[in-house]
Amino acid sequence: MRNGAVLEINLNQLGINLNCINEAFPTNKVLLMVKADAYGHGIIPITKYAYENNGIKSFGCATLAEAIYIRNSLEGNFELFVFSETNLKDASSKSMYLDFNIIPVISNIEDFFLITDDLDYKYLPIVLKFNTGMNRLGLEVNELPVIIKQLQKHNRDIEHLMSHFACSNLSLENSSNSRQIKLFNEIKKSLNENNIKFNNSSISNSGAIEQNYGHDDTFIRPGLLAYGQQSVMKNNLLKINWDGDLISSLKAKVLQIRSVVKGTPIGYGANPVPNTGTIYITAIGYGDGFSCSFQSTDFTYGEKIGKLVGRINMDMCQVLFTEKLNLNKGDWLEFWGKDNSNFESFCKKAKKIPYEVFCNLSPRLPRVYIKC
């Protein structure tokens, strides 16, 4: 651990973002994606706040272990879904799903038969995710006849029918998105024609939500947007009234200040600095998940532009400002904060998707929760 760098997480802002999503989708329920430690923000505090403050009752994990961790840490009447690492073939998982009241999202035919043929799973809600064009996980549309037959045989409904977009950061009018939408509708139609009830359905992740898609389903499944970052980065695709901001601020303390002239070698590899100015040696590095690919990235701090010069070190980095700031040794320097357009441009310049930048933040970096 360390105390010279921190990811400060404003839970009130999470509440505001979720309210904003709720205003755009007043009749939909939210299945909040909290996989990968809630995109690096801390799975327990995020789940707890969303449940207690916003009344969210459905959460999405990637792994069974993540879901068990939530169940063991939080009391409450909420559903937990496991999306990818379901481990259904592992005999010991069975008691986990049943004892901890966790729901696997079934996305292949072997698991579907395993669950529906096993009488122990009789009371487990059936949640099916179909591949409509992403070609990652998912039941195939041509498996629908055998799925329908099996559900009829056991007299079972589908609790939640799902699919997932491959490109929801692009316009939904784009041909691959419209093909996915069409296929998902055909699946629904076929289930209806065969009298297979599905109580809930969802397809929209952040990009689709931003484009105001998902009102015909009962659920939406936001991840990134709840944490305050848009997934659709072209504002003309934004079709909801989005007034959210980033819930996190990444800050590190200034360890040393040094004046340099253009060309002064700096840090490992002795890279020459591109401009004359002041270097702030700052207490965050790749050991905190502050990636080496942030080298040369710039960011806005107050009204000034700071540039990460030289290599990112394990524990430190060098920030160049062409003007001297009112910033002393021991003061905090913020790399990103509330204003998500700064974070967006930071990610773009680093050629990283915001998802990865968040998820890479390492356990050494303390997460501090505030409400303001």
Ligand X SMILES: *Cc1c(COP(=O)(O)O)cnc(C)c1O
Per CB under 6 A, 223 contacts ligand X: yes
CA distances from 353 to 40, 208, 253, 344 (A): 14, 17, 25, 9
- At 120, list the tokens: 């122990």
Instruction: Note whether 33 binds ligand X by CB under 6 A.
Output: yes
Task: Return the closest-CA partner of residue 140 out of 105, 108, 114, 164.
Answer: 108
Rounded Cα distance between 121 and 168, Å, is 34
Element (H, E) at 325: none
CB of 344 vs ligand X, minimal distance in Å: 14
Nearest alpha carbon to residue 167 among 201, 124, 213, 129? 213
Count of residues binding ligand X (CB under 6 A)?
13
Member of 17, 180, 206, 340 binding ligand X (CB under 6 A): 206
Q: Which of 82, 151, 172, 224 binds ligand X (CB under 6 A)?
A: 224
Closest CA to 109 of 79, 95, 89: 89
- Which one of the spans 93-101, 120-128, 178-186, 200-208 is the region binding ligand X (CB under 6 A)? 200-208
> What are the helix (H) ranges across 5-153?
11-24, 35-40, 43-54, 64-73, 91-99, 109-117, 144-153
Name which of 18 and 224 has its Cβ closer to ligand X.
Answer: 224
Q: One symbol per residue from 162 to 181: x for binding ligand X (CB under 6 A), - otherwise; what is it?
A: --x-----------------
**Contacting residues for 209 by C-beta, under 8 A, at least 6 apart:** 21, 24, 25, 220, 222, 225, 240
Closest contact distance (angstroms) between CB of 205 and ligand X is: 3
> In this structure, which amino acid lies at residue 190?
S
Of 131, 231, 249, 318, which one interacts with ligand X (CB under 6 A)?
Answer: 231
Given the complex with ligand X, which of 104 and 223 has the nearer CB atom?
Answer: 223
- Indicate whether 49 belongs to the interface with ligand X (CB under 6 A): no
191 binds ligand X (CB under 6 A): no
354 contacts ligand X (rule: CB under 6 A): no
Q: In the bound complex, what is the minimum distance in angstroms from residue 316's beta carbon to ligand X?
A: 31
Q: Which residue has the tokens 């790399």?
A: 335
Binders of ligand X in range 273-312 (CB under 6 A) = none
- Residue whose CB is less far from ligand X, 164 or 188: 164
By beta-carbon proximity to ligand X, the closer residue of 130 and 299 is: 130
Q: Is residue 253 involved in binding ligand X (CB under 6 A)?
A: no
Q: Does 221 bind ligand X (CB under 6 A)?
A: yes
33 vs 333, beta carbon nearer ligand X: 33
- What value, to the nearest 5°, has the Cα angle with vertex 307 and ends 306 and 308? 125
Report if residue 205 touches ligand X, rule: CB under 6 A: yes
DSSP letters along 185-218, please?
HHHHHHHHHTT--EEEEE---HHHHHTT--TTSS
The answer to whether residue 222 forms part of the interface with ligand X (CB under 6 A) is yes
Least separation in angstroms between CB 289 and ligand X:
18
Q: Which residues bind ligand X (CB under 6 A)?
A: 33, 35, 83, 164, 205-207, 221-225, 231
